[in-house]
Structure 1
């Protein structure tokens, strides 16, 4: 295998989210393409026979993000907006895990992700890590943040 990269889908907030993550994680957005930038027409219909887009939705989809790439710390996070006429249930069933060597770095990232979000587990000492916390950010993405020296687990 060459790589494993998370790919997040948003409902029209991809550009705002990826810009926020670049700031929080100290990364660079190396690609941001909109549906209107594609060499083919924007999606008007689900290829599996799903909902057909109205002319208004096709116009709205043009400015949605088709593909974004964030590079940070040797890692990659990919993201896109779901076309407006597709069913969107939010991001469910997974968390993005971040690891920081320094507690202060991890705490800074955790606190930034928590602004406008919901803390599931406060950033605190655990039996496996100097600090760990869980948060769902304001975009609905679940994060787990580890920081400091890992502890030996019995």
Structure 2
């Protein structure tokens, strides 16, 4: 396996979400940057609102890590269902970085478990961000 890349779907919020994640994690948008549905060949018949939705975006975070995302298209029968069947686990390089990331992601979101030292020896917390994405932040001084 070369990489594990979280791919996120949103209902018209991809651009806002990915700009937010870029502000939290840094990095750069790859390739053509943010590609919109209206720029895709054969999508001329989409409703005007859907032409502004994101077809694809990749945020490169360095060292081979990245986040990818796109929007759903309601006119094509897509329905986004926010579920609890996925988390993205991040392992920051320091306790301070863990706190910084956690605080940014918690803005407008919901803390499920505050950052704290855990019985297994790591510093860990869980937050659901304002877009409904669930994040586990785990700092281990042993890695």
TM-score greater than 0.5 by the shorter chain: yes
User: 1:121 — aligned with what?
Assistant: 113
Structure 1: tracts of 5 or more residues without a match: 45-56
Matched with 1:76 is 66
TM-fit CA distance, 1:123: 0.5
**C-alpha displacement at 1:129, in angstroms?**
4.2
Q: Quick check: 1:129–1:147 contact (8 Å CA) kept in 2?
A: no
Q: Residues 136-151 of structure 1: matches in 2 within 5 Å?
A: 136-150=128-142
Distance 1:77 1:99 in 2: 15
1:62 aligns with 2:58: no
Counterpart Cα distance in 1 of 2:104 and 2:41: 37
| RMSD (CA atoms) | 1.8
Alpha-carbon distance, 1:29 to partner = 1.8
Post-superposition, which runs of at least 4 consecutive aligned residues in structure 1 deviate over 3 A?
Answer: none
- Aligned partners of 1:133, 1:149: CA distance in 2, in Å? 15
Q: Which runs of 5+ in 2 are unaligned?
A: none
Distance in structure 2 (CA, Å) of the matches to 1:91 and 1:28: 28
Q: Name the SS of the counterpart of 1:100 in structure 2.
A: coil
Rg larger for: 1
Report how many residues are paired. 138
